[in-house]
Structure 1
């Protein structure tokens, strides 16, 4: 992986951890997601004159990714309603890079050397095992596990679609802006439908949280889409999930969460995978 792509993906991982911390800090998550999407939609419309229109070959992938992103959001919300964040999030994020690597090698004729495969495996297992940081009791609800793994499948799907779509578009920037417009509009419509029977008043705090999370998520996604045009998609996918390490750090510093041996071992596995990816040739 080119060093500039490596650095950009790590920065995107930090942004991803930040917007999830915003989301965790507010109890009205559906409204936060809606405000995030509104901010992203507005920003994308402003940026439209400054980016290239995606090539025709990329549009089926772009539209499919937008639909899959909505499916991911719906599954994730459902998973959070049936299980704890500390169990759902690592399962969903850890499964994704393993699926991306498997599909890429089996169906897309992507070659990964042994160190790269080992790095992806260590990162995937390290992130997934964080779901055990508080014990296995929370994983006994099969509904939560099913929705979390389903969310991971959606993540893997939109990752592959975006990687292939951005390459076909001729411009990662144009692809990102148009993808955000479609995805944001669909998510706003979906959340509005879910809230149709409830009269909701979004507080000023929730709006600020949503805007901050939206901007962090936007630029993190932009960085990932660009990186997938210059580096192998499975490596970018795996490295992105190091956001969980930054999330653990934020949890320790901001939310006063504890660090136990299980969590430490998971973080160590993830960081070992990152080191192998960085220093292997």
Structure 2
């Protein structure tokens, strides 16, 4: 499997595989976000999800994939720190602001900074058409945030700090996307990076989530929370794993932009599954996001 994937790097087949992986990551990321949006405290949800994927990745990291090269341990330390800071910022943003406002700001800020970072770090170049596609996609994503803001009925007192935290979180999305792309390209076997990433990344949040759970009155029942964490862990493997593989096979910036079609999938999930009202304006904004992604892909 690893040899086959590596053979696709820099090829037309690799480009198409990266496209499919990025779209799959977008859909799964929307599911992942919906899980964190649920009735549980976001810190508890994150802790349960991280614990699940750490325990699933541990035997793969220790006994299945090739052992990391010596230079990878410093890279993993950087990955761990960046992702911890991202999760803290994300948790604070979701705690202070409405999910429907905060999420589009995070997802809109992330790809813009990722494209700029990939230009500097990997010497990637977007064509004029691709930059137009980025602009159209961002117009749709930020348009969703503004639309949701206009209909917001709560959390207005903390909205300013929530939006600032959302922008900071988006910057860390860009940082971890480019740094993870650097990490997965720095090891011979991409699955070595993935297995150790999930193992290491999942160890920090569960202790904090447990202490937070212990201090709650009343405490949420652990069974349903852990079941939700298990489902979230499986989805995280597919979502984050897919986009990381896409960044090894093809351009980091394109994968990051295509992943942000997750906002379209999130709205569709809300409409079809959660029976939320979409309306013509949100449909038009979602169409802008999809159009922007298509322009980025076709303009390359």
TM exceeding 0.5: yes
Structure 1 segments unaligned to the other structure (5+ residues) = none
Distance 1:210 1:61, change over 3 A: same
Question: Deviation at 1:77?
Answer: 1.4
Residue number among 23, 29, 37 corresponding to 1:10 in the alignment: 23
Deviations 1:1-24 (A, max 9, x none): 711110111111111111222222
Contact 2:101-2:149 at 8 Å conserved across structures? no
Q: Distance in 2 between matches of 1:173 and 1:87?
A: 35
Q: Which residue matches 1:50?
A: 64
**Does the aligned pair in 2 maintain the 1:19–1:212 contact within 8 Å?**
no
Q: Distance in 2 between matches of 1:4 and 1:110?
A: 19
Query: Which whole-Å CA distance do the structure 1 matches of 2:202 and 2:109 have between them?
Result: 25
8 A contact 2:25–2:238 mirrored in 1: yes
Report what 1:247 is aligned to: 266
2:183 paired with 1:169: no
Give runs of ≥4 in structure 1 deviating > 4 Å. 137-140, 193-196
C-alpha displacement of 1:164: 0.6
CA drift of 1:137 comes to 7.0
Residues 63-142 of structure 1: matches in 2 within 5 Å? 63-106=77-120, 108-136=122-150, 141-142=159-160
**Displacement after TM superposition at 1:184 (Å):** 0.5
1:74-108 alpha-carbon deviations (Å, 9 max, x no partner): 11111112110000111011100000112222454
Cα distance in 2 between the residues matched to 1:268 and 1:237: 18
Aligned to 1:262: 281
CA contact (8 A) 1:99 1:156 kept: yes
Give 1:220 deviation, angstroms.
Answer: 1.2
Please give the alpha-carbon distance, in whole angstroms, between the structure 1 residues aligned to 2:132 and 2:188.
31
CA offsets per residue over residues 221-242 of structure 1, 9 Å max, x none? 1111111111111111111111
Question: Is 2:204 aligned against 1:186?
Answer: yes
1:189, distance to aligned residue in structure 2 (A): 3.1
C-alpha change, 1:40 and 1:23, in structure 2 (3 Å) is: same
CA 1:261 to 1:89, structure 2 compared with 1: closer, same or farther past 3 Å? same
The corresponding residue for 2:39 is 26
What TM-score, normalized to structure 1?
Answer: 0.91
**Displacement of 1:258 after TM fit?**
1.3
> C-alpha distance in 2, partners of 1:270/1:63?
35
Q: Secondary structure at 1:53's aligned position in 2?
A: coil
- Greater displacement, 33-42 / 99-108: 99-108
What is the TM-score of this pair, normalised by structure 2? 0.86
In structure 1, which of residues 127, 145, 150 is the aligned counterpart of residue 168 of structure 2?
150
Alpha carbons 1:82, 1:144 under 8 Å: kept: yes
- Whether 2:55 is the aligned partner of 1:38: answer no
